[in-house]
Amino acid sequence: MVERGVGQLDTLKSRMDRTAARAQQVSGWYVDVASNSVVVLAEPGAEAAGWRFVARAGVPRTAVRMATEEQPRLFADVRGGEPYFIGSGRCSVGFAVVGGFVTAGHCGRVGARTTGADRAPQGVFRASSFPGDDWAFVQVNNNTRVLPEVTDFRGGVARVAGSQEVPVGSSICRSGSTTGVRCGTVQARNATVRYPEGLVGGLVRTNVCAEPGDSGGSWISGNQAQGVTSGGSGDCVRGGTTFYQPVNEILQRNNLTLLTTQNFRALSSRR
């Protein structure tokens, strides 16, 4: 036998719901049948504020169990090819790595802050190289989860299993936030390109089109990550040539670990 029935507890919780606007430093509240009480979750060190909220709601203290919990937050999932913003500029996510994602260096300098597709704070450029190379690493914040996937912008994804480089003549696909997924073939490796900003070497040439905003996006062959979009010529109406920065060089130069379907599960299980 318990002192309060479920209906009584629900009524007490409803009182709190009606005074929710006055819940300062309170993370939430819920009915806990096992303890026969309404649990109020105060932020760490703010138990007094939690009890003030209980009093304002007109709920007896004897019916409440006070606990502490950090303020909940929304998590944003990030996949290869999706957009991110640097101020008013837009680029595309390359591949998920432990701690963040890789992208193109010309998208941002070290210290530049990024926002996600929802314009919420996302991360900061921790490494960037351009010209000479065209790579960067963005470290994401605790509200952002990077996934070992590349979006096809139609509700599907390509899952990343590794980063084994494919030879010249291989089929390859690119994902970017401006033109979505486009496919073609690898035409040459270790190409040097002269951009107006300077020379970039070690790029891979393809017959795949791309447009502004696709920069930094994913190149994948099967389930193997290949690189991030650098630049090119033409567009996706007339066709064009696009170059990408090989992903393995980015990983090696920055001592980064590519997230794959296998190590992502292992890393997640440790948390």
Residues 115 and 242 in one domain: no
> Between residues 130 and 271, which one has the greater pLDDT?
130
Q: Which one of 27, 92, 106, 221 is the catalytic residue? A: 106
- Check: CB of residue 81 under 8 Å from CB of residue 150: yes
Task: Let me know if residue 269 belongs to a domain.
Answer: no
The answer on pLDDT for 270 being more than 60 is: no
pTM of the prediction? Answer: 0.76
- Check: CB of residue 107 under 8 Å from CB of residue 241: no
Q: Which helix (H) or strand (E) holds 95?
A: strand 95-97
Predicted local confidence at residue 69, as pLDDT: 81
Task: Pick the most confident of 15-19, 31-35, 241-245.
Answer: 241-245
Q: How high does pLDDT run on average in the chain?
A: 94
Which residue, among 194, 195, 197, 193, has the nearest Cα to 206 in the 3D structure? 193
- Check: CB of residue 116 under 8 Å from CB of residue 228: no
Predicted local confidence at residue 73, as pLDDT: 61
Residues 83 and 39 in one domain: no
Whole-Å CA distances, 269 to 70, 93, 97, 119, 264: 21, 25, 17, 29, 9
Question: 106 catalytic, yes or no?
Answer: yes
Predicted local confidence at residue 148, as pLDDT: 97
Number of separate domains in the chain: 3
DSSP assignment of 209-260: ---TT-TT-EEEETTEEEEEEEEEEEETTTEEEEEEEEHHHHHHHHT--B--
Digit-coded pLDDT (tens) for 203-232:
999 999 999 999 999 999 999 999 999 999
Digit-coded pLDDT (tens) for 91-122:
999 999 999 999 999 999 999 999 999 899 99
Residues 174 and 47 in one domain: no
Task: Let me know if residue 174 belongs to a domain.
Answer: yes
Distance separating alpha carbons of residues 84 and 167, to the nearest angstrom: 30
Task: Let me know if residue 1 belongs to a domain.
Answer: no
Q: What is the DSSP letter of 72?
A: P
Predicted local confidence at residue 269, as pLDDT: 53
- Check: CB of residue 31 under 8 Å from CB of residue 38: yes
Task: Let me know if residue 271 belongs to a domain.
Answer: no
Residues 156 and 188 in one domain: yes
Residues 13 and 139 in one domain: no
How confident is residue 1, by pLDDT bands cut at 50, 70 and 90? Answer: confident
Residues 236 and 164 in one domain: yes
Digit-coded pLDDT (tens) for 24-73:
899 899 999 999 999 999 988 999 999 999 999 999 999 999 998 866 76
Residues 17 and 138 in one domain: no
Residues 163 and 213 in one domain: yes
Predicted local confidence at residue 32, as pLDDT: 92
Task: Let me know if residue 238 belongs to a domain.
Answer: yes
Predicted local confidence at residue 266, as pLDDT: 75
Question: 10 catalytic, yes or no?
Answer: no
Give the domain extent around 245. 151-249
How confident is residue 74, by pLDDT bands cut at 50, 70 and 90? Answer: low
Residues 112 and 160 in one domain: no
Residues 138 and 259 in one domain: yes
Question: 134 catalytic, yes or no?
Answer: yes
Q: 3-state DSSP call for residue 6?
A: helix
Residues 141 and 155 in one domain: no
- Check: CB of residue 136 under 8 Å from CB of residue 84: no
Which residue, among 117, 157, 111, has the nearest Cα to 137 in the 3D structure? 111
Q: Which one of 129, 133, 134, 175 is the catalytic residue? A: 134
Residues 204 and 80 in one domain: no
Q: Which one of 128, 175, 177, 215 is the catalytic residue? A: 215
Check which CATH number belongs to the domain holding 50 and give it: 3.30.300.50
Predicted local confidence at residue 167, as pLDDT: 96
Check which CATH number belongs to the domain holding 143 and give it: 2.40.10.10
Task: Let me know if residue 57 belongs to a domain.
Answer: yes
For residues 244-256, give the mean pLDDT.
Answer: 98
Residue with tokens 């409440």: 64
